Structure 1
């Protein structure tokens, strides 16, 4: 089933691209058998990552791809931009911190919703965030309640 889903890369250049990335992630997570709550978490995380690219870097990409490890299917999202980088990653991962006047729930929220979270950022290379959500039967069982 998961082999039938091909990786998709969405270029983020304008605000409507955020919606496109979100829809691609929701559709792919549905195809992979994620429950509705996990589909929403995946879509929300993609939306936050894409919005950060749009707001802070101007442009970049979101790649959404199915993965498998030890017989468990997952969805990996990679957000890449060539923007100015994040000056203080530790601060950016604190709840409530924002340089744009927003709520500051973006990166900390994504980190909480995903099973794996990795971020690299520098002024020279921009920012790369890789997150993974595993389709755990235990998690899916919680979806039904």
Structure 2
């Protein structure tokens, strides 16, 4: 699967660093097709980059799923980052700016939430994590 896939729904694996690059390229292509402003493209690409990296580093790899969504007259892009890793034991702590379970800056989840219109996270210890984000045009 390549970033030129025209499908309104699909998925890409997130199992290695090159997969993060492919995920970013796909999000760039999709936001351009939806005619997002350059600022909104950048916000969505940045959030996707952070969340795909989390999927790889903390979740042990997984997938990025996408769908072009409609709500009335407006269109949007919904991305879901899914892994079957260890899960997040303390969601409140994980969503605080500056907290990290690794060597990062601790801005991945909270920073991504600020870049999008809708943000949902589901996680349980030992059962993986699913982060779903949506940006509306």
> Matched residues in 1 for 2:112 and 2:86: separation?
21
Q: How many residues align?
A: 132
Secondary structure at the aligned position of 2:58 is classed as helix
Deviations 1:85-112 (A, max 9, x none): 0111111111000011211110001100
Task: Indicate the residue corresponding to 2:31 in structure 1.
Answer: 29
Deviation at 1:5, TM superposition (A): 4.7
Q: 5+ residue gaps in structure 1?
A: 136-145
Which structure has the larger Rg over C-alpha atoms?
Answer: 1
Q: Is the 8 A contact 1:76 1:131 kept in 2?
A: yes
Q: Which has the higher helix share?
A: 1
CA deviations 1:66-101 (Å, max 9, x no partner) are 100011100000011000001111111110000112
TM-score w.r.t. length of structure 2? 0.93
- Residue of structure 1 in register with 2:86 after alignment: 84
1:93 match: 95
Aligned to 2:135: 133
Pick aligned residue for 2:56 from 36, 48, 54: 54
TM-score (norm 1): 0.88
Alignment root-mean-square deviation, CA = 1.1
Query: Contact 1:5/1:28 (CA < 8 Å) preserved in 2?
Result: no
Do the aligned partners of residues 5 and 35 (structure 1) sit closer, same or farther apart at CA in structure 2, a change above 3 Å counting? farther
Contact 1:12–1:53 (CA under 8 A) maintained in structure 2: yes
Runs of 4+ in 1 over 4 A off after TM superposition: none
Per the alignment, in what secondary structure is the counterpart of residue 109 of structure 2?
A: helix
